[in-house]
């Protein structure tokens, strides 16, 4: 099967390599010449513009988008509406707002093109070695491409979530939970670090990650980050918010559902823009560890 990947940054390139390792005929496009060169080095057939890549398909076109939510994704989807043909497939794997996904799915449906909103988790390592995917869209057409998600996802790591918008909705809530978990870890380590006891924070993370109730991948990342930087000296406690927690809170408010932990975690990220706190340093280090997110370091 031919699959075209649009947007080959940290996540997109690894998705493309993951597909290639499962013997898909992968082609790619990115606006950046350097990114295109990176793709070529990985054996991906790269194209200098989107239209040329689409014309290269010999069979039904399957386009996987891995782009930042907002105007960039919207612009590419508008181009695809003009260049794809009936029965082609678009998989939008970024973190778009689920309301946008519902609107886009309807617009593509009117053209006879199938649109799937695919929440993608697992960070850059998961994108390469086994992602977690949550897919919304037409149930019958999903069966035709289900093998793609089975192949690139970790075992038991993909879910058809239902109608259009449901995939990105689920990923939105997932990211809201993630905000709360990372904030709790950061605050806990701040209490430990400022206590009267002389703890090795890497070893604290190690023991907590073996048999304790709070064990997990984030704790594993915490151990690795503390091993590399015992007091996170090179990090500043400034943590960006990418939007999903805000959408989760707004949606919860519309539904009349209380989400105080997620709300406070978002407020703390906003506060981190002004306050260089140790808990924010921990969250910044965790984000860098699992997703390669840009961090602000001391001398930046």
Q: What are the C-alpha distances in Å from 149 to residues 23, 120, 144, 173, 255?
A: 13, 10, 11, 20, 31
Measured CA to CA, the distance from residue 226 to residue 179 in angstroms comes to 20
Catalytic residue among 20, 61, 171, 246: 171
Chain centroid offset of residue 175 CA: 9
Range list of H helices, the chain: 10-21, 33-41, 50-55, 71-83, 98-110, 123-129, 139-152, 166-193, 201-208, 217-228, 244-255, 260-272, 278-291
Catalytic annotation on 59?
Answer: no
Task: Point out which residues pair with 27 in neighbouring strands.
Answer: 4, 45
Q: What is the length of the chain?
A: 300
Closest by CA position to 28, among listed 3, 4, 62, 52 = 4
Catalytic annotation on 178?
Answer: yes
Cα–Cα–Cα angle for 153, 159, 162, rounded to 5 degrees:
145
Residues 6 or more apart from 112 whose CB is under 8 A from it?
Answer: 85, 86, 87
Catalytic residue among 92, 178, 187, 244: 178
What tokens were used for 284? 């910044």
Q: Which residues belong to the active site?
A: 171, 178
């Amino acid at each position: 099967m031919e699959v075209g990947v649009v947007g080959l940054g940290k996540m997109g390139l690894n998705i493309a390599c993951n597909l290639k390792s499962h013997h898909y005929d992968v082609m790619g496009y990115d606006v950046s010449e350097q990114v295109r060169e990176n793709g070529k080095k990985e054996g991906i057939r790269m194209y200098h513009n989107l239209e040329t890549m689409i014309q290269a398909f010999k069979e039904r076109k399957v386009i996987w988008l891995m782009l930042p939510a907002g105007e960039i994704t919207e612009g590419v989807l508008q181009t695809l509406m003009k260049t794809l043909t009936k029965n082609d497939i678009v998989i939008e794997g970024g973190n778009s707002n689920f309301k946008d996904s519902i609107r886009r799915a309807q617009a593509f449906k009117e053209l006879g093109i199938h649109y799937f909103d695919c929440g993608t988790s697992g960070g850059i390592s998961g994108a390469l070695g086994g992602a977690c995917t949550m897919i919304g869209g037409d149930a019958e057409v999903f069966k035709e491409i289900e093998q793609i998600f089975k192949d690139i996802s970790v075992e038991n790591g993909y879910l058809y979530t239902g109608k259009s918008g449901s995939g990105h909705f689920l990923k939105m809530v997932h990211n809201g939970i993630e905000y709360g978990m990372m904030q709790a870890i950061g605050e806990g380590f701040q209490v430990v670090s400022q206590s009267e006891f002389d703890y090795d924070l890497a070893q604290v993370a190690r023991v907590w990650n073996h048999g304790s109730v709070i064990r997990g991948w984030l704790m594993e990342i915490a151990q690795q980050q503390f091993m590399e930087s015992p007091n996170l000296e090179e990090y500043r406690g400034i943590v960006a918010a990418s939007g999903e927690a805000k959408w989760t809170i707004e949606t919860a408010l519309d539904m009349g559902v209380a989400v105080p932990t997620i709300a406070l975690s978002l407020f703390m990220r906003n506060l981190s823009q002004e306050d260089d706190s140790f808990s924010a340093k921990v969250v910044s280090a965790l984000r860098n560890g699992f997703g390669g997110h840009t961090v602000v370091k001391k001398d930046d």
